[in-house]
Amino acid sequence: MSQFPFASNRLPRRGWRARLRQCALWGMLGVQGLTAGCWWQQHDSTLAIDETPYIQAATAVEFPILDEPVESTAVVTAAPRTLNSKGEQEYWDVELEDVVHLALANSKIFRDLGGVVLRAPGSTRSTYDTAVLETDPRFGPQAALSAFDATFASSLFYEHNNRALNNVFFGGGTRVLKQEAAVFQAQISKRTPFGSEFTLRHNVDYDQNNAPGNAFPAAWDINFEAEYRQSLLRGAGIDFGRIAGASTIPGVYNGILIARANTDVSIAEFEMSVRDFLSDVENAYWDLYFAYRDLDTKIAARDAALDTWRRIQALSERGRVGGEADKEAEAREQYYRFQEEVENRRLRYLIGLPVNGAELLRPSDEPPRAEILFDWELSLQESLSERAELRRQKWMIKRRELELVASRNFLLPELDVVALYRYRGFGRTLLKTGASSEFDSAWNNLLHGNFQESQLGVELAFPFGNRQAHAAVRNAEFLLARERGLLREQEQRVVHDLSNAMAETTRAHQVMRTVYNRREAARERLKALEAAFEADKAPLNLVLDAQRRLAASESHYYATLVEYAAAVKNMHYEKGTLLEYLGVHLSEGPWPEPAYADAEDRLRRREVLDGSHVPDQGIISSGAIPASW
């Protein structure tokens, strides 16, 4: 008790809320033996407790301890290289193709330069997303198929009854019924996409009681039942079963076709994520290219300014004309203006390399300089057929069309045909060899087949007005109309962006040619002014201005080169051919083996039906499945 700062051994007189708070704190800290005075000790007490440490412990932020720590290379990251780093720097001349390959090989999570993966990880795309949806136990394809799995159910109950009855009739001739009873049930049921249900059931009843009207003190009643139920209107048909699954509620559809449409939507979104990621990678590559070329330009300008400064300083030391202090200071300022160094790390992060590696990445590919002409009609056709956004929206329309088909089925009444056949057996014992009478053994009686029952009937049910089904149809129609409207607007947006991208490609190339001519003019002007300055026919400020103009035109020229490369890339982006342009091909994983066996079986059946010739097994093993499937 010494760890608690008690002022005395008596509790202060407080309200029930204060006592409740004290009890909660003590219980949380594992303190036992102190609750005796929490609730019922109403006598005067003067105990003072400092609750601050306990409140701090209860409200402190907790950090989780993982069962399996996540391996990370972040803790072994080397220190960044800065302008003060010494030693010769090594470079890795990397091509754009290699950069794309590294990005795809090292990126399970698609990185971005905006920090979304840190601020909003839930919206970050990854290579696991499609697999997560495919294996979703609620809405995935396997979940949809599981509605038609065969199900086994069994139960066993034992009863001991001892009751007094007012009517002798209900007790079988006695007013005090004493009974030992057991019931065993087992069944296998299976639904089919056609709207039918098969059930095979086994029942065993045991009853021992003191009713005087019994032929045996104890008896066994066993039977086997085979039941078949077929929906004729609502819920009938292979289309409804594959769209709605086992759903009996209008508006709730989770069939295999809906699940597969969701998977195809996820695949389109995955392709969009890969496309956007590689677009960022190429942008970073050309940005890094510009950074190096810009650095080379400034180094060349710095060296030229240094040479000019040295000549002015030599004139100043000899006291000659042209070496005045203002001219020397102006040349010196020009030199320090160009003194800088550049290092860029964004590309390393995107392609999954350590941020601070031993080697600096240096692009070895050159951006395109030749004019690339895109045919408008072909580009328009490609954009409307290849854009992943449009393919995703078309899958959404297909899903809504399927939902509309299923919703109309719910307008029909429930009309089911039910057929049942039952084999019965009855006897004093469950199983007895060498039975002397017909009812000595229930199993022997069952096998003789003397007691057989059958049932055939029709069930009809429908709600008056059927408002829920009508609302589901209207809702499906509105959703379909909305998705179709979205597709039209998306196509208009695609055409708009494609038009702007094509115009930007032409503009970027024209500007590049203009800036190239500007750079050549600036270089010729500098040469002329340097020659005039050597002959004392041009002032120094014009030479320094020409050096600055040449450096600016050089830097601007490489910037326009990068803009043109980005414009060509954006043109492929808008056409939907960026992945093909970068040499990337996406495909789904292989089918499971049972799928190939099922496809082969269906192919053989079609051969029997239409008498067509079907090649041997090679067509299946090679994966060349007919498009009609």
Domain boundaries, the chain: 16-59, 149-191+196-234+414-461, 376-385+393-401+469-581, 598-629
Query: Is the pLDDT assigned to residue 193 strictly greater than 50?
Result: yes
Indicate the pairing of strand 90-94 with strand 359-363. parallel
Express as a percent the part of the chain with pLDDT over 70.
Answer: 77
Express as a percent the part of the chain with pLDDT over 90.
Answer: 41
Give pTM, 2 decimals: 0.75
Closest Cα partner for 383 from 509, 493, 538? Answer: 493
pLDDT confidence of residue 351: 58
Per-residue pLDDT tens over the stretch 275-304: 998 998 898 888 888 888 877 777 777 777
Radius of gyration (Cα) for the chain, nearest Å? 42
Residue 38: band (very low, low, confident or very high) from pLDDT cuts 50, 70, 90: very low
Query: Is the pLDDT assigned to residue 227 strictly greater than 90?
Result: yes
Residue predicted with more confidence, 336 or 444? 444
pLDDT confidence of residue 75: 60
Q: Which of 82-91, 499-508, 531-540 has the lowest mean pLDDT?
A: 82-91
Query: Is the pLDDT assigned to residue 619 strictly greater than 70?
Result: no
The percent of the chain in helix, strand and coil, each rounded to the nearest 5, is 50, 15, 35
Q: Which residues contact 54 (CB under 8 A, 6 or more apart)?
A: 25, 28, 29
Q: What's the Cα-to-Cα distance from 570 to each of 112, 275, 371, 392, rounded to whole Å?
A: 18, 11, 15, 20
Q: Which of 399-403, 446-450, 504-508 has the lowest mean pLDDT?
A: 446-450
Query: Is the pLDDT assigned to residue 307 strictly greater than 80?
Result: no
Angle at 177 between CA 176 and CA 181, to 5 degrees: 165
pLDDT confidence of residue 385: 93
pLDDT confidence of residue 458: 96
Per-residue pLDDT tens over the stretch 86-104: 666 677 788 888 888 888 8
Q: Which of 6-20, 46-60, 90-104, 606-620 has the lowest mean pLDDT?
A: 6-20
pLDDT confidence of residue 471: 95
pLDDT confidence of residue 436: 73
Q: Please state, in angstroms and rounded to a whole number, the distance separating the CA atoms of residues 420 and 423.
A: 10
Residue 593: band (very low, low, confident or very high) from pLDDT cuts 50, 70, 90: confident
Query: Is the pLDDT assigned to residue 317 strictly greater than 80?
Result: no
Query: Is the pLDDT assigned to residue 516 strictly greater than 50?
Result: yes
Query: Is the pLDDT assigned to residue 628 strictly greater than 60?
Result: no
pLDDT confidence of residue 364: 85
pLDDT confidence of residue 218: 92
Residue predicted with more confidence, 575 or 84? 575
Please give the average per-residue pLDDT across 214-242, as a whole number. Answer: 92
Query: Is the pLDDT assigned to residue 376 strictly greater than 90?
Result: yes
Task: Provide the 3-class DSSP secondary structure of residue 228.
Answer: strand
pLDDT confidence of residue 382: 94
pLDDT confidence of residue 352: 56
Per-residue pLDDT tens over the stretch 194-218: 999 999 999 999 999 998 888 888 9
pLDDT confidence of residue 391: 95
Query: Is the pLDDT assigned to residue 342 strictly greater than 70?
Result: no
pLDDT confidence of residue 536: 77
Query: Is the pLDDT assigned to residue 602 strictly greater than 50?
Result: yes
Q: Could you tell me if 237 and 409 are in contact, meaning their C-beta atoms sit under 8 angstroms apart? A: yes
Q: Please state, in angstroms and rounded to a whole number, the distance separating the CA atoms of residues 240 and 402.
A: 9
pLDDT confidence of residue 439: 86
Question: At residue 179, what is the residue type?
Answer: Q
pLDDT confidence of residue 109: 81
How does the average pLDDT of the chain come out, rounded?
Answer: 80
pLDDT confidence of residue 532: 86
Query: Is the pLDDT assigned to residue 37 strictly greater than 60?
Result: no
